[in-house]
Structure 1
């Protein structure tokens, strides 16, 4: 990581990335809109917006004599860490779903917001494929590289305070989603993603959690009615599923902690 990059510059380049990706995606879609199925326009906007998000950061770092793998925390992780993260991620996602429902009672989302959620319901198979590709795979990879790889890591090194770096990055991550009704949920996930990145010094565990969370959200948006009889209970996640999710979190974290410690021991030099 280049120590000459300042905090303001780092936040500025991330904001520029958000603005540039939105502008490029919008311009491309304005040209396609008269000729393309509306569902394809929606899915392409998500895919292109996520894909172009990486471009300004990459251009900024290009030629600065930095190690790209190090800057974006692209450190390989063991299969044990991967397995534990998958278990943890499913438990976390179901608990966050219940958190979302509880917050929805206190702060009910308006009708226009519910209509926006309906935009990710697709009948066109190609649009659905592009939606999952952009909203799950590309979003998880690009956003984790930028926020937990580039930004959080820089803040950790400049501030010398991991907790502050994780919390500030998570807050920034939540705010830039411009979604008042998901701010708490996104912030909570952002803190967990930041913890994973710091604990393993890798963005790959965060990519797994990010992808599983987004994938399940889109699956439920499109086919949630099929799971409603057994998944929901009086407007909440069924208590049995919630208990199983909490169990997955405890079991998954136990395995995650052991796997990370084991990986650290294997990297220690022999005396």
Structure 2
């Protein structure tokens, strides 16, 4: 990481990336809407918007002679860490779903917000494939590299306060989603993603959690009615599933903690 990059510059380049991403998505929607299947336009705008999110940051760093793998925290992780992260991620995602439902009771989303969610329900197979590719794979890879790799790591080094760096990055991550009704949930996830990145010094665990969360959200948006009889209970996640999810979190974290410690010991130099 280049210590000459200042905090304001880092936030500025990330904001520029967000503007570039939004511009590309908007141009696609406006330019293709009259001629192409609306579902295909939506999925393409999400896919290319996420992809272009990375471009300004990459161009900015390319001329600074930095180690790209280091600056984006692209450090390999062990298979044990991967397995533990997958277990943890499923548990976390189901608990966050219940958190979302509880917040929805206190702060009910308006109709236009529910209509926006409906935009990810698609019948066109190609549009659905592109949506999953962009909203799951590309989003998880690009957003983790930018927020937990580039931005959070820079804040950790400049502020020398990991907690502050994780919390501020998570807050920024939540705010830039421009979704009042998901702010708490996204912030909570952002804190966990930041913890994973700091604990392993790698964005790969965060990519796994991010991808699983987004994938399950899109699966339930499109086929949730099939799971409704056994997954939901009086508008909440079924208590049995919630208990299983909490169990996955405890079991997954125990394995995660052991795997990370084991990886750290293997990297220690011999005395």
Same fold (TM over 0.5): yes
Deviation at 1:30, TM superposition (A): 2.6
Preserved CA contact (<8 Å) 1:11 1:151: yes
Shift of 1:215: 0.1
Cα displacement (A) at 1:50: 0.3
Name the stretch that deviates more: 32-41 or 94-103.
32-41
Structure 1 CA distance, aligned partners of 2:19 and 2:261?
40
| SS of aligned partner of 1:74 | coil
* 1:54 counterpart SS class: helix
Are 2:84 and 2:256, in contact at CA under 8 Å, matched by a contact in 1? yes
Structure 1 CA distance for aligned equivalents of residues 28 and 181 of structure 2:
29
Deviations 1:36-92 (A, max 9, x none): 100001111111110000000001001211000000000000000000000000000
Equivalence for 1:74:
74
Aligned-residue RMSD, C-alpha: 0.6
CA deviation after TM superposition for structure 1 residue 31, in Å: 2.4
Give 3-state SS (helix, strand or coil) of 1:197's partner.
helix
Give distance in 2, aligned partners of 1:249 and 1:36: 43
Query: 1:203: how far off?
Result: 0.1
- Provide, for residues 236-271 of structure 1, a one-character-per-residue CA deviation record: whole Å limited to 9, x for no partner: 000000000000000000000000000000000000
Deviation at 1:26, TM superposition (A): 2.0
Taking the aligned partners of 1:186 and 1:21, their CA distance within structure 2 comes to 19
CA distance in 2, matches of 1:250, 1:116: 34
Task: State the shift of 1:32 in Å.
Answer: 2.0
Deviations 1:121-178 (CA, angstroms, capped at 9, x unpaired) = 0000000000000000000000000000000000000000000000000000000000
Contact 1:89 / 1:209 at 8 angstroms: preserved in 2?
yes
Greater shift after overlay, 200-209 or 19-28? 19-28
Map of 1:164 onto structure 2: 164
Single out whichever of 59-68 and 28-37 deviates more from structure 2: 28-37
* Partner residue in 1 for 2:239: 239
Counting matched residue pairs gives 271
State the TM-score, normalizing by the size of structure 1. Answer: 0.99
Deviations 1:213-249 (A, max 9, x none): 0000000000000000000000000000000000000
Whole-Å separation in 2 of the counterparts to 1:92 and 1:30: 37
Cα separation, 1, equivalents of 2:143 and 2:188: 16
What is the distance in 1 between the residues matched to 2:29 and 2:220?
27
3-state DSSP of counterpart to 2:269: coil
In structure 1, the residue matched to 2:88 is: 88
Is residue 25–residue 52 contact of structure 1 (8 Å, CA) maintained in 2?
no
Distance 1:31 1:123 in 2: 22
- Paired with 2:170 and 2:19, the residues of 1 have a C-alpha distance of 19
- The residue correspondences of 1:38-117 to structure 2 (distance < 5 A) are 38-117=38-117
Counterpart-to-counterpart distance in 2, 1:27 and 1:184: 30
* Residue deviations 1:84-113 (CA, integer Å, cap 9, x gap): 000000000000000000000000000010
Q: Given that residues 170 and 187 in structure 2 are in contact (C-alpha distance below 8 angstroms), is that contact kept between their aligned partners in structure 1?
A: yes
Whole-Å Cα distance in 2 between the matches of residues 21 and 117 of structure 1? 20
Measured in 2, the distance between the counterparts of 1:189 and 1:2 equals 27
